[in-house]
Structure 1
């Protein structure tokens, strides 16, 4: 996932350009710190105080030069207009957030307004066209059959959330002036891997990541990934 973001930044902007990045719903700040270490100026927005505290602690362990490039704010991604001036960012990340937003179109329009012309909007969403795969592969046939006709599901934390369909997001991105440039599948083969599970040996892990990356950019595999990574570009 991080490599896909970096690839899009490399293709979209001149080498060496210091980008202004907004990370909406940044969680523990992993991606924000990765981009700050690469030289970019990053603003992280997170509404969960506990997550924000973890991000502050991680930032405090970084060298002063990196700390100076990161600003962490408590706030909701649906209220970016109250925090920032339109056109303030070259890159806006919104990863793992839309599943918690019942009506996402207004939020996405607000995020697109934050982009300068040519700016990149990066979304990571649950794939609404593949919701039946997880219960089906687990042998939950009732759950698999029910998943075909909905974008609602219960996540591993027991929360009722929602997925997004590629066609719907493609139309939305076009409508808000940041049409889809490219998209990837994420977790094609590894959706059953539990968070916190022990990683395989390095050689096997390298092969696993190579297979995932190849599948994530290849039809028809990417269409059935658990997650979708979409990149829109502000016109």
Structure 2
């Protein structure tokens, strides 16, 4: 895991695009997510799902909003040349450590700059837990579609607004839910996304930008609703098995804290037929 001493503590303003970046929050991000059971479950479920949801071969991969480099490392370990794009300089420092010894290119760049800095077109783009931190996630979907080659695949994971609502009801935050005050402000150290998304939005935007939904799953469909989050090793193993077993099954995938999609760009367009 990433040591928290690598990061400085400071407030993090939104970017010129209204996005939230993670300079000054890398320690909290690493410890609250990847230093916990929920991070272990997330990675274990992704390890289970990605080979099943993607047509994987050794191909260059663009990791958009790569963070600490976990997904890039996963693909690099399987032989993919990876390009990491991440706006936070502090996060990129840790990603370089995670990718030591692998073939990787590092770009300090936000998603909006990638059509110029990493235009591709790419056969494989990964964008996990990014859109919910952007001021305009719909426009970001258009950018991701632009980066894909015909026949290319986008592995997209987004923070599920419906799961956030359900979780707040379970916790007793009834007034917050009634007022629909679910999104974070992006102005404090709390890691509540500023733009949590719904499945219906992803369906609509995919159609708008000419992408097909090839597969969908939920990530952490049970864990976040547990009464007790402190799990012993045996219980964690059992919970991971349950998460993997039901992550693509109705109705459980719809309540995953994250929704994971494989989106594909058609190999031909109506104009080319």
Q: TM-score, normalization: structure 2?
A: 0.73
Whether the 8 Å CA contact 2:63–2:72 is kept in 1: the answer is: yes
Cα deviation 1:18-63 (Å, max 9, x = unaligned): 1111000111101101111100111010001110011112223x3x
Alpha-carbon distance change, 198 to 47 in structure 1, aligned in 2, over 3 angstroms: farther
CA RMSD in angstroms comes to 2.2
> Relative to structure 1, is the Cα distance of residues 115 and 137 closer, same or farther in structure 2, using a 3 angstrom cutoff?
same
Question: Do 2:131 and 2:137's aligned partners in 1 also have CA atoms closer than 8 Å?
Answer: yes
Query: Which piece of structure 1 moves more, 29-38 or 167-176?
Result: 167-176
Alignment partner, residue 217 of structure 1: 248
Moved over 6 A (4+): none
| 1:2–1:31 Cα contact (<8 Å) kept | no
Tell me how far apart the structure 2 counterparts of residues 172 and 160 of structure 1 sit (CA, whole Å). Answer: 19
Q: Retained in 2: the 8 A contact 1:132–1:143?
A: no
Q: Does 2:48 align with 1:3?
A: yes
Kindly indicate which of the two structures has a greater share of residues assigned to strand.
1
5+ long unaligned stretches in structure 2: 1-45, 267-273
Q: Does 1:181 align with 2:193?
A: no
Paired residues for 1:8-157 under 5 Å: 8-9=53-54, 12-13=55-56, 17-60=57-100, 62=101, 66=102, 69-87=103-121, 89-147=122-180, 152-153=183-184, 157=190
Residues matched between the structures, number: 217
TM-score by length of 1: 0.83
Give per-residue Cα distances to partners, 1:45-95, cap 9 Å, x unaligned: 0001110011112223x3xxx2xx2111110011111112342x2111111
CA drift at 1:198: 6.6
Runs of 5+ in structure 1 lacking a partner?
none
